[in-house]
Amino acid sequence: MFEARLASTLTLKRIVDALREILNQSTLDCSDTGIQMQAMDNSHVSLVSLCLRKEYFEKYKCNRNISLGLDLKSLTKVLKCANGDDAVTIKAADKADKVELSFESAGKERTADYELRLLNLDQEHLAIPETEYNCVVHMPATEFARICRDMATFSESVVIACSKEGIKFSASGEMGAANIKLSETTKGEVSIQVDEPVALSFAGRYLSTFTRATPLAEKVKIGLAPDVPLLVEYPIEDYGYIRYYLAPKVDD
């Protein structure tokens, strides 16, 4: 038996919004410690990893590990039926072929239950190695979203170069070129830790997709190391995260 209750549907809506552009379907792996999900996009260029520890939930019960294969489009449709300030309870029996979502209005005067058919997804799990990133940058999530949007105007390819001087985003195309550089701020809005400078090239379209998670977090963490995927991490309060990994572009 699995049961998890969140005080606000809004955060769940935001989590699904952060996933659904990159994934159509996904399996939530529920255990007694919380919920995990990991999936590659269709073209296997990026990987998204979601972790919600049980402390994130108002109520959490999971007697036995259970995998819930969900169609994210269908889940979005169900979430549209709920108000952001409704409480939501997700329930599934052991070996169930459906999941139940119950919404309760803030004043408890309205309840609504929905059933969603579960999918049997054959999802491949990848081992994500522990990586020491040479450059770790924290910046406001809205700033990162703005940079990705502005870069997209110029080119499909974005170079991210990080050194002690700052982090620089560059894009150049037929129209011209764009360079945006952020330095560390004294107020701590932007922090930049650099062991070795790193410069890598990425597909801007994926970076833009990752910024769908912007409403979830004030700050985004970016990790860069030579010849490994970029890490873009959005914390979910103190109880979890969405991490996106993006394979760099490499010389032909």
Partner 1 sequence: KKIQGSIRNYFSAK
Q: Which is nearer to partner 1, 81 or 128 (CB)?
A: 128
**Whether 52 contacts 2, CB under 8 Å:** no
Q: What is the DSSP letter of 124?
A: P
Does residue number 40 form part of the binding site for partner 1 (CB under 8 A)? yes
Q: Which is nearer to partner 1, 135 or 182 (CB)?
A: 135
- Binder to partner 1 among 81, 93, 106, 128 (CB under 8 A)? 128
Does residue number 65 form part of the binding site for partner 1 (CB under 8 A)? no
Q: What is the largest CA-CA distance in the chain?
A: 61
In angstroms, what is the minimal distance from the CB of 124 to partner 1?
Answer: 6
Does residue number 223 form part of the binding site for partner 1 (CB under 8 A)? no
By the 10 Å C-beta count (0-12 exposed, 13-18 middle, 19+ buried), 250 is classed as exposed
Interface of this chain with partner 1, residues 88 to 117, rule: CB under 8 A: none
- Rg, Å, the chain Cα set: 20
Does residue number 125 form part of the binding site for partner 1 (CB under 8 A)? yes
In angstroms, what is the minimal distance from the CB of 231 to partner 1?
Answer: 11
DSSP character string of 128-167? ------SEEEEEEHHHHHHHHHHHHTT-SEEEEEEETTEE
Does residue number 204 form part of the binding site for partner 1 (CB under 8 A)? no
In angstroms, what is the minimal distance from the CB of 246 to partner 1?
Answer: 8
- Phi and psi (nearest 5°) for 122? -95, 85
Report how far residue 197's alpha carbon sits from residue 185's, in angstroms, rounded to the nearest whole number: 19
Q: Which is nearer to partner 1, 99 or 228 (CB)?
A: 228
Does residue number 229 form part of the binding site for partner 1 (CB under 8 A)? yes
Report how far residue 225's alpha carbon sits from residue 208's, in angstroms, rounded to the nearest whole number: 20
Does residue number 224 form part of the binding site for partner 1 (CB under 8 A)? no
Residues of the shown chain interacting with partner 1 in the complex, contacts defined by CB under 8 A:
40, 44-47, 124-129, 157, 201, 203, 228-229, 245-252
